[in-house]
Amino acid sequence: MSRQYNLDILQIMQASPVMPVIVIDQLAHAVPLAQALVAGGIRVLEVTLRTPAALDAVRAMRKAVPDAIVGVGTVKNADDLAQAIAAGAQFGVSPGATPALLAAVRDSRLPFLPGTMTPSNVLAAREAGFHAVKLFPAQQAGGVGMLKALGSVFADVKFCPTGGVTPTSAPEYLALPNVACVGGSWLAPATAVAAGDWHAITELARAAAALSKRG
């Protein structure tokens, strides 16, 4: 059974220039981390399904940090998708895409960013009705040069390059007209999260939020 969602995926991508890729090892870190990122101006949070605490972290963030737009990343199949929706995810992100996953996403109507790496992947996503996708892993896929090449033939597709993006390279990506945002893990470094250094994370978020982007 599908739900109604207030935002579409492009609106979510354009809400913050950087989408932090978040790994939660301890549930106790979820809410203060979300609060620190939002305090710095980063509202869109991708919690990856890489740890047992991930889904509970999404639930906690949704309840305690209403200003955040909380999604689930590393969605690899329909079961992951169902669990993300049950946890209250407002959007989903996948590292790649299969016909079965894209069909399940369409049925759910969850705002979703399917992963692509090649022109064939982009074509498959477009044929399935998706005109906003993730380029992953962006650096290994060719980075800015690849996005320029893709833009010349897929003018109707917006990208979120993720994988190897840094504070130094992010502005070059964001300057591209077909890039709506970038994904990055540097906003929530494991050492700062483990130490509970939320001030440092807020400062990283503030710097990221100040990056320019073109929609």
Q: How far apart are CA 95 and CA 60, in angstroms?
A: 24
* Catalytic one of 46, 158, 203, 213: 46
Q: How far apart are CA 134 and CA 112, in angstroms?
A: 10
Cβ–Cβ under 8 Å, residues 207 and 70: no
* Catalytic one of 63, 76, 127, 134: 134
Token look-up 């935002």 returns 7
127 an active-site residue? Answer: no
The model's pTM is 0.96
Domains and CATH numbers, the chain: 9-209 (3.20.20.70)
Q: Where are the alpha helices (DSSP H) in the chain?
A: 9-13, 30-39, 54-64, 78-86, 99-108, 119-127, 138-141, 143-153, 170-174, 190-195, 198-209
Identity of the amino acid at 55: L
The per-residue pLDDT string of the chain (215 residues; one tens digit each, 9 = 90 and over) reads: 467 798 999 999 999 999 999 999 999 999 999 999 999 999 999 999 999 999 999 999 999 999 999 999 999 999 999 999 999 999 999 999 999 999 999 999 999 999 999 999 999 999 999 999 999 999 999 999 999 999 999 999 999 999 999 999 999 999 999 999 999 999 999 999 999 999 999 999 999 999 976 54
46 an active-site residue? Answer: yes
